Amino acid sequence: MEQRALLAWTVFSSLLVLAETIDQKPEIYSLHVDCKVTSRFAHTVITSRIVNQANESREATFEVELPKTAFITNFSMSIDGEVYPGIIKEKAAAQNEYDTAVSQGQSAGLIKITDRKLEQFHVSVSIAAASKVTFELTYEELLKRQLGKYELLIKVRPKQLVKHFQIDVHIFEPQGIRFLETDSTFMTNELTEALTKVQNETKAHILFKPTVDQQKKNSELDETLLNGDFVVRYDVKREATAGDIQIVNGYFVHYFAPQEMPVFPKNIIFVIDRSGSMAGRKIDQTMDALLKILQDLRPEDHFNFITFNNKVMEWKSSLLPATEENVASAAALVQTLTARGGTDISGALLAAVGVLEKAEGLPERSVSMIVLLTDGQPTSGERNVEVIQENIQKAINGKYALFCLGFGFDVSYKFLEKMALSNGGIARRIYENADAALQLQGFYQEVATPILMQIEMQYPENSIQGLTKNDFKLFFEGSEIIVSGKISNELDLLPVEIKAQSHTSDLTLKEEANVKEKEQVFQNQKYVFGNFIERLWAYLTIQQLLEKAISVEEEDQKALEDQALDLSLRYSFVTPLTSMVVTKPSDQQQKELANKPTEADNEKPSSFPAGGAYRMMNGSPAVSRFRGIIRPQPLVDEHPQLLLQLPRQNERICLNIDKTTQSSVHLLSDPEQGLTVTGKLGNGVNHFVQFDINYVNPPVQIHVYTHAILISHNNKNNWLSWMKSASSTIQGLSVSVEEERSVTVSLPDTVTVKISLVRFPDDFLGLYFLNTDRFSDKVSGVLGQFYSKAQFGDNSSNQRAVERLLRVSGSEHRVSRLYKKDYRLESASDPVSCWSIDLTP
């Protein structure tokens, strides 16, 4: 009896050890965030050191959330002394390299937007037992002054206890630091003891260095408290009325933020969408925000409301002064808002312009603005967005500022952004979170106090090169104007003249900077990272070129993008025009692609009619010019059901299956590979929500769902979660899950099956294959036939072709070039072109 008990305990102990070994994750033993802020320009280096203490290979993951406004400048992985750097390339060249890698059995996707302020950089790599890897990511950003302060945001989320955890923030502001504060969403009394702050007139050092015990949620659990935002806020002292000029290595930056000036009266019209899609939480949050905004109107302001669905309703026929009585009357209107009907954006905006045009009795020096809030596409009245943009710009004619707020992800952000930038305003997305009302109020506070208009920053023309934007329509209290450029070598004194209109008078401010004296300020400062003003100039120039490209005509857009691309490559910035190619250590030199997503990428696809891939002009598809390439203008960018790369052909196929016939589809069988794949289409979701992968040898079935993965072998089931990275190996068959991203199924000398998980706008799965040259000639199935029996009827390499003939298994199909999102990439920034085909199984 004792021997049996001892045997049982030995087996149980072995199982425990085995379970611990299987679950043992690579350990982050050091995580250091080092941020140097020199005169508002922040240079951040994040270094993560990881060790694999398991007795077999494990996936090590590096995941960082960084500000959307930042540009990544460098990334590298160091494994056992070998360094694998990220290489920044022009986006099209990087995409071609990636497409080649995918066709050869390699995968991708590194950056995605995670919320209204952040985007996520994510990469994982397999490291051998007892090996170490060091990840290092560098990014730069120019801190923007809003509501009287600069904000440096560091996202902290190591997901485990870290033996050596440290955040260093060094700030050097030659103007002097007026105030400095830190904030955190995860701070406790114990963690506060790990935070130190040292500050003098111009410098500050913030150190956050918690011990392992301080990081723990409680003493008995190895769970970390470090999950949230670490924020540093500060402002600088200002004495010179014409701002502050700083110079390093022949480049200057001029900061201008006047204070204590009278505020212009505002003439403001709120144009509010009350269409059916605004029903529920959105209209409630809008009402809450408007009620608070009404209370913030100044007595000298004038205002009006226009609400719209398919009908446009003016609250009053003219602008009213913001008296207590009028504000109370408007508040009563706001509380009666209901949402139903269509969306006539054009009619509402033209009505707002009409009210401003006929307004009488307004203050002589005042600022007129229109604030549009909408959550959708134009579905009533004029629906062509280009016609709307053109008509609104003609109607406004530079006299008023238009601010466009897009509520949620059904809006076309590009449409709103172009309309706002073309009319002296800005666009902002309002995220559908619990704090949406606060987002609306926060935006209003930024534009509530205009103190200058028609600002011109003048510098000696013949002595300055590459001058950034130097004329501004409006300046709001609490913000800052920044101008930068390169000074010619012979200039000893840099004169500046600022002309602007205030509420009470026309202003002329003058300043003169001694170049050599200004250069001395930054000499021998350990906080200064090299040529920071030159990099600041490049960063600002790229941002402004890309912004300007949004609102100009297509023929001018290419020249602006070419300039921005040249600077992006010269200064190694990952921008919307460049990509970083990361090559992983593996037998196949696997490649990953880091694209910079834009706010316009972060939304649901437009609901254009089926087959409406191109705008038709005089019976021909319109084309747009992009960096020297002529291509059809993409209008459809949703994900396809299936995406595949034809073997030995640089062509993508987007395959859609008629779901009315059956929900389960036999996709692929290859008897020589011993592999069968079937899929199930979802109810109410025109995508696959389940894939079943069956192997003959070893006899394993893998069922991939949107909620989990089930592995069946010898009547035993093993569930893997999407919520964490994990792997399982059965007789050489490897199943590897990358957290919330993909599952990879591979067997030596066979095709690799990969399935991506897409969470937005609906949960679905995307299937593709790697090493497809290993398919045999006997491969069959709805998808399989394309790997053995697909051939284009022509050999055309014409990039402008919009239709071709494709022969598959003896049948001919007329296929059209469409633009679709690539589910193989985590961040599908730009739609990729593919030949679309619809099949009925």
**Weakest-pLDDT range from 168-172, 526-530, 624-628:** 624-628
Q: Calculate mean pLDDT across residues 681-709.
A: 89
Residues contacting 252, CB < 8 A, separation 6+: 245, 246, 484, 485, 486, 487, 494, 513, 518, 533
Closest CA to 154 of 208, 225, 214: 208
Q: How confident is the model at residue 670 (pLDDT cuts 50, 70, 90)?
A: very high
Q: Which long-range contacts (CB under 8 A, 24 or more apart) does 814-818 make?
A: 815/653, 816/611, 816/613, 817/613, 817/632, 818/613, 818/634, 818/636, 818/654
> Confidence band (pLDDT; 50, 70, 90) for 586?
low
Average pLDDT of the segment spanning 30-56? 94
Helices (H) and strands (E) in the chain, counts: 13, 54
Judge contact between 138 and 73, C-beta under 8 A: yes
Residue 616 pLDDT grade (very low, low, confident, very high; cuts 50, 70, 90): very low
Mean pLDDT across 707-728: 87
- How far apart (Å, rounded) are the C-alpha atoms in residues 329 and 334? 9
Alpha helices in 226-359 (DSSP H): 281-296, 324-334, 345-357
**Residue 108: pLDDT over 60:** no
Q: What is the pLDDT of residue 613?
A: 30
* Residue 400 confidence (pLDDT): 94
| 355 contacts 306 by C-beta, under 8 angstroms | yes
Q: Which of 90-94, 104-108, 444-448 has the lowest mean pLDDT?
A: 104-108
Q: What angle do CA 346, 349, 351 make, to 5 degrees?
A: 105
The helix or strand, by DSSP H or E, that contains position 73, with its residue range, turns out to be strand 71-79
Has residue 142 got a pLDDT over 50? Answer: yes
Which residues, listed in sequence order, are joined to residue 450 by a DSSP beta bridge? 476
Q: What is the mean pLDDT of residues 481-497?
A: 92
Using one digit for the tens of pLDDT, what is the confidence trace for 676-692? Answer: 999 998 876 788 889 99
Distance set, CA 325 to CA 287, 332, 461, 564 (Å)? 19, 11, 53, 51
Mean pLDDT, residues 151-180 taken together: 94
Model confidence band, residue 610 (pLDDT cutoffs 50, 70, 90): very low
Length of the chain: 841
Between 525 and 805, name the one with better pLDDT.
805
Share of the chain above pLDDT 70, in %: 86
**Number of Cβ within a 10 Å radius of residue 196:** 10
Q: Estimate to the nearest angstrom the gap between the alpha carbon of 425 and the chain centroid.
A: 21
CA 569 remoteness from chain centre = 20
Higher pLDDT, 599 or 4: 599
Report the pLDDT value the prediction gives residue 660, as an integer from 0 to 100.
Answer: 57
For strands 367-374 and 266-273, give the pairing: parallel
pLDDT confidence tier of residue 323, bands split at 50, 70 and 90: very high
Q: Which two tokens stand for residue 816?
A: 């059209």
Cis peptide before 761 (omega within 30 of 0): yes
Contact 242, 510 (CB under 8 A): yes
Please work out, in degrees rounded to the nearest 5, the angle formed at the alpha carbon of residue 570 by the alpha carbons of 566 and 571.
120
Q: How many angstroms separate the CA atoms of 637 and 602, rounded?
A: 12
Taking the model in full, what pTM does it have?
Answer: 0.72
Answer whether 179's CB lies under 8 Å from 235's CB.
Answer: yes
704 strand-pairing partners: 691, 709
Q: Do residues 750 and 673 touch, judged by C-beta distance below 8 A?
A: yes
pLDDT tier, 725 (very low <50, low <70, confident <90, very high otherwise): confident
Please give the structure tokens belonging to residue 425.
Answer: 């305003």
Per the model's pLDDT, the better-predicted residue between 24 and 307 turns out to be 307
pLDDT of residue 751 exceeding 80, the answer is yes
Measured CA to CA, the distance from residue 829 to residue 595 in angstroms comes to 7
Q: Which whole number is the average pLDDT over 612-640? A: 38
Query: How far is C-alpha 44 from the chain's CA centre?
Result: 18
Mean pLDDT of 714-728: 85
**pLDDT bucket at 839, cuts 50 / 70 / 90:** confident
User: How does pLDDT run across 196-236, given as a tens digit for each residue?
Assistant: 999 999 999 999 999 999 999 887 778 899 999 999 999 99
Instruction: Read off the pLDDT of each residue in 298-326 and give the average, rounded to a whole number.
Output: 94
Which of residues 331 and 114 earns the better pLDDT score? Answer: 331
Q: What pLDDT shows up at residue 619? A: 32
Please tell me the least confidently modeled range out of 67-76, 188-197, 518-527, 789-798.
789-798
Per-residue pLDDT, averaged over 337-364, amounts to: 92
Structure confidence at residue 620 (pLDDT): 32
Residues ≥6 apart with Cβ < 8 Å to 596: 71, 72, 111, 574, 575, 576, 578, 579, 829
Q: Which of 467, 368, 385 is nearest to 425 (CA)?
A: 368
pLDDT for residue 12 is more than 60: no
pLDDT of 17 higher than 50: no
**Pair of tokens at residue 675:** 């592999």
More confident residue, 376 or 131: 131
Give the residue among 831, 829, 833 at the shortest CA–CA distance from 598: 829
Q: Three-state secondary structure along 719-742?
A: EEECCCCEEEEECCEEEEEECCCE
Residue predicted with more confidence, 523 or 535? 535
Q: Which one has a higher pLDDT value, 834 or 251?
A: 251
Cα–Cα distance for residue pair 841/838, rounded to 1 Å: 10
What pLDDT is attached to residue 817? 80
Please choose, from the candidates 794, 835, 790, the residue with its C-alpha nearest in 3D space to the C-alpha of residue 810: 790
For residue 582, give the nearest of 593, 569, 596, 574 by alpha carbon.
593
**pLDDT mean over 167-176:** 94
Instruction: Express each pLDDT in 367-395 by its tens digit.
Output: 999 999 998 889 899 989 999 999 999 99
Q: Distance between CA atoms of 193 and 206, rounded to whole angstroms?
A: 13
* 774-831 pLDDT per residue, tens: 889 899 998 998 888 788 876 555 545 678 888 888 788 888 888 788 787 655 445 6
Mean pLDDT of the chain: 84
Residue pair 270/256 in contact by the 8 Å Cβ criterion? no
Tell me 683's DSSP state. Answer: S
